[in-house]
Amino acid sequence: MNTVTEHRAATRVLVLNSGSSSLKYQLLDMRDAGRLAVGLVERIGEQTSRLRHTCVATGGTRELNGPMADHDAALKAVAGELARDGLGLDSPELAAIGHRVVHGGMFFTEPTVVDDAVLTEIERLIPVAPLHNPANLTGLRTAMALRPDLPQVAVFDTAFHTTMPESAARYAIDTKIADRHRVRRYGFHGTSHAYVSRETARLLGKAPDEVNVIVLHLGNGASASAVRGGRCVDTSMGLTPLEGLVMGTRSGDLDPAVIFHLQRVGGMSTDEIDTLLNKRSGLFGLCGDNDMREIRRRIDEGDEAAQLAFDIYIHRLKKYIGAYYAVLGSVDAVAFTAGVGENAAPVREAALAGLEGLGLAVDPARNAVRGDGARIISPRDARVAVAVVPTDEELEIATQTFALVGKDD
């Protein structure tokens, strides 16, 4: 043991979330799960790239504008900003880099230290995640090149859902064709569902394995999950994040024959239908807005299209709550999370309206309270707790990463 210089364990984790033209990051200290720095690079590959970096200790935010050709340039710029705050990537206090990877298929059931074989497997999954996995791979390769000596951990959006039974994970199509093309239900937002179901148990003063929770992750993308004793038994997204709930711009569930119909009768190409269902559907397709704040404002002004979009959104949500109630048999809590779930009291109220027979209700006064923390919004004597539980995917990625590589020495 070194008695001369102060001994410091490596307790920091850098979390990277790489999109096709963006890079979000947070540096956390796992001693207290506190943020040291947060930031975002946008428009990577364009002339107008922008890095916004905040050092939490000083509260200072800096902006860097100018072309960043690729993720390598972006990450180097981030490293530079971190270094200016004394938080450089060469610090011995950095224990690992944790990466969000959207699709881990059936292969990755746990967070995984990345090596060449892992990169190859993530690459093999590109056909089922063409939008996300290439960007995640770019982020991984870039960070590995910058700090080859440091553990790089992939945390998969799909991993939490790999506990789903085959009865929930399989589509009812020819098994041989499904297996050949890896067609099955994988689910997404897994780090959020894992974190929120655990935090909900904590809010109830129970261990995760003692409770059954329905988690409603309602952001721009939206998904529901049924979690029995800490393990996911069903979730609403499928092969891709298109299945399930009505989302900001995605349709969620529809009759698959709608696609043949649009091809045969509508003369649309596969790519056009892909764009329609992923980018021009959902709330946006129904009323021209995908932001729930704007939709509520329009409803208050008597806008019928906004009202119908809201009603369709709620109808689908209610169907999933009922379905997952049946899947679980008994439910201890329903937890609302993400941008809409955490902030939109009218959505929470409408989603549970009329479900008193299932023991589900929101207390209007509790539901109306605005707050940052996890909170119960059901009446005091309710059979099932209804909760608002802010999600924290970065903290979950950092926690899982640190659990894998962190050691107190």
Residues near ligand AMP, by CB under 6 A = 219-220, 248, 290-293, 338-340, 343-344
The dihedral through the CA atoms of 117, 118, 121, 126 has a sign that is negative
Least distance from ligand AMP to the Cβ atom of residue 58, Å: 26
Annotated catalytic residue within 85, 157, 234, 289:
157
Is 217 annotated in some ligand binding site? yes
* Whether 157 is catalytic: yes
**Residue carrying the six token digits 């529809």:** 254
| Token pair of 378 as six digits | 């059901």
* Separation between Cα atoms, residue 309 and residue 221, nearest integer Å: 16
Nearer to ligand AMP, 11 or 220 (CB): 220
Minimum CB distance to ligand AMP smaller for 140 or for 335: 335
d(CA 110, CA 113): 10
State in Å, rounded, how far the first CA of the chain is from the last one. 10
CB of 248 to ligand AMP, least distance (A): 5
Q: Which is nearer to ligand AMP, 233 or 338 (CB)?
A: 338
- Detail the DSSP E strand segments found in 34-185: 34-42, 50-55, 61-65, 94-101, 112-113, 152-156
d(CA 236, CA 245): 7
Q: Strand, helix or coil at 360?
A: coil
> Does 370 show up as a binding residue in the annotation?
no
| Residue 380 labeled ligand binder | no
Is residue 220 annotated as involved in ligand binding? Answer: yes
Residue 291 annotated as lining a ligand binding site = yes
Q: Between 162 and 290, whose beta carbon lies closer to ligand AMP?
A: 290
- Nearest residue to ligand AMP, by Cβ distance, number only: 339
Q: Classify 146 as helix, strand or coil.
A: helix
Strand 152-156 vs strand 94-101: parallel, antiparallel, or unpaired? Answer: parallel
User: Residues annotated as binding site for substrate?
Assistant: 100
Catalytic residue numbers, as ranges: 157
Q: Which residues are annotated as a binding site?
A: 17, 24, 100, 217-221, 291-293, 339-343, 393
Question: Annotated binding site for ATP: which residue ranges?
Answer: 24, 217-221, 291-293, 339-343
